[in-house]
């Protein structure tokens, strides 16, 4: 296992919710990362953000780790959930709420419903 792979595994195992993104949750550096961080922030999900722009080994390593070519990437309780399009879709369908509930992750259900109302 490469150093990057071991680091990524440690990050994924060390937090219930991890978002590998370009930038940080306070200052996303791309629109896709901004969208996913915005959803999680608005819904009040406690998550760890990993800025892939700060480390090239992690930036490439996360793509190999998940076998997914794009960033951002969201992990919940060690499980790869998806990137921007998948998270957006799951948010709008209510699937993200269900997953968070199944995994016992706290979030603001009212905020999730407001997102769906605004996008109906």
Number of structural domains the chain divides into: 1
What DSSP state is assigned to residue 94? T
- pLDDT tens-digit map of 10-40: 999 999 999 999 999 999 999 999 999 999 9
The confidence score (pLDDT) of residue 120 equals 85
Q: What residue numbers bound the domain in which 48 lies?
A: 3-118
pLDDT at 74: 98
**Dihedral sign for Cα atoms in the order 78, 81, 84, 89:** negative
Binding-site positions for [2Fe-2S] cluster read 30
Q: At 1, is the pLDDT very low, low, confident or very high (cuts 50, 70, 90)?
A: low
- Look at the pTM and tell me if it is higher than 0.85: yes
pLDDT tens digits, one per residue of 36-54: 999 999 999 999 999 999 9
Residues flagged as binding site: 30
Domain CATH code at residue 108? 3.40.30.10
């Amino acid at each position: 296992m490469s150093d990057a792979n071991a680091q990524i595994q440690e990050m994924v195992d060390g937090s219930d919710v991890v978002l590998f993104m370009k930038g940080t949750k306070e200052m996303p550096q791309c629109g896709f990362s901004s969208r996913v961080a915005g959803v999680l922030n608005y819904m009040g999900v406690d998550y760890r953000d990993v800025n892939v722009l700060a480390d090239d080994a992690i930036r490439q390593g996360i793509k190999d780790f998940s076998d997914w070519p794009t960033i951002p990437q969201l992990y919940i309780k060690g499980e790869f959930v998806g990137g921007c399009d998948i998270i957006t879709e799951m948010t709008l369908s209510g699937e993200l709420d269900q997953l968070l509930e199944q995994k016992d992750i706290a979030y603001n259900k009212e905020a999730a419903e407001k997102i769906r109302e605004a996008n109906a």
